[in-house]
Amino acid sequence: MAAAELHTDLQQWWAAQEFEGKEIYSLSEDGTLSLIDAPPLKARKITTLTLEDADLTLATLRDKFTPLHEEMVALMVEWKTVPDKLTLDRKITQQMENIASTYAIGNLLEIAQTLEEWHKEITTAIDANYEAKLEIVAKAVALIDNTNWKETTQAFKDLSDQYKVAGYLDRERNEALLNRLEDARASFYEKKKAHFESEDTDLMLNLDLKIELAEKAERLAQAESWKQGTEFFLSVVEEWKKIGRTLPKKNEELWQRIMTAKNNFFDRKKEFLNAQKIEQEANLRA
């Protein structure tokens, strides 16, 4: 069969095909099947068809769309039911990347547009949370040189509580702000400790520091900063010893709080790693 005749037959074959989402695909004269530029999707080549393999190739590509559609349906259920939609940020970003790189045939545009809409809504909310947390950190930094020890100590605790309820933030920016908040608190306590070194108040000062250590342990026990939490709990014994002695009854109580937080953290980390392994194995099989 001549090339021109083959091209004509392919075009006739393509014109006869009917499936949802066909409008975002094109078939050139040389048999190149492409995704057209349809924002947020970008144009790209899908495959090259011949008259002999066109039906089988199209069927295979349409089959590849099925798991993407199923994942989107599941994600849509989560979007409608999860109270804090910001926690879906990572899943939505991952799905957007999957759609952008997949070689499949189906209604990708509808999925991509929905994901883009969700992503914009989440990004706007996360940016607002970032500004709120940035303001909290700025207040903490401004307290470093405040010598009203009792009130400033309470102020740092209040700011830490405000930070915890200020809303979801992506891990990278959240960890950066948390480090600044911790640095500010540490700087203040260094100044506070230096001030009271000349007075017989070491026991009470150490109590404040150990309370802060226990609160940090409990905070990290509920977070998903696995690297930061692991490093903290592996070094917490040394940090505890560095602080020094305090009231015996309080000392035991705070130590138990830290140990409980440590156990909770590593139990959660183990569950996370197991779930991740299962997901990776499932992806491999798929």
pLDDT (tens digit per residue) in 125-172: 999 999 999 999 999 999 999 999 999 999 999 999 999 999 888 889
Is the confidence at residue 196, as pLDDT, over 80? Answer: no
Q: Name the pTM for this structure.
A: 0.53
- Comparing 3-7, 17-21, 66-70, which segment has the lowest mean pLDDT? 3-7
3-class DSSP string for the chain? CCHHHHHHHHHHHHHHCCCCCHHHEEECCCCEEEECCECCECCEEEEECCCCCHHHHHHHHHHHHHHHHHHHHHHHHHHHHCCCHHHHHHHHHHHHHHHHHCCCCCCHHHHHHHHHHHHHHHHHHHHHHHHHHHHHHHHHHHCCCCCCHHHHHHHHHHHHHHHHCCCCCCHHHHHHHHHHHHHHHHHHHHHHHHHHCCCCCHHHHHHHHHHHHHHHHHHHHCCCCHHHHHHHHHHHHHHHHHHCCCCHHHHHHHHHHHHHHHHHHHHHHHHHHHHHHHHHHHHHHC
- pLDDT tens digits, residue range 57-97? 999 999 999 999 999 999 999 999 988 888 898 899 999 99
